[in-house]
Amino acid sequence: MLCCSSRESVARKIPGRIISVELQNFMCHEALRIDFDLQGRNCFFIGGSNGSGKSALFAALNIGLGGRGSQNERGCALRQYIKDGQKLAFFQL
């Protein structure tokens, strides 16, 4: 969701600001939700060990904002972003 939640009253409305990311069965993530603390912060750092899902998060952001799956160097088709063993994936910005 882009600035479309109850948190709007807490955070100053800025067009295009991502307030949360939710992934289900997307690449290595079975279920992940990140709520960005918007209180005066304009920059966030994403860190973690190899294989922890950092690239999956950025792939979801890229696809969710209109990019093509093939641009992420992780798959040629969107179906390749579905977690192994699952039939569908979900993500929401």
Q: pLDDT per residue over 19-64, tens digit each?
A: 899 999 999 999 999 998 777 777 788 899 999 999 999 999 999 9
Q: Are 83 and 25 in contact (CB under 8 A)?
A: yes
Report the distance separating Cα 77 and Cα 18, nearest Å. 25
The model's pTM is 0.74
Q: Are 70 and 76 in contact (CB under 8 A)?
A: yes
- Domains of the chain in start order, with CATH, are 6-38+50-92 (3.40.50.300)
More confident residue, 74 or 50: 50
Report the distance separating Cα 24 and Cα 26, nearest Å. 5
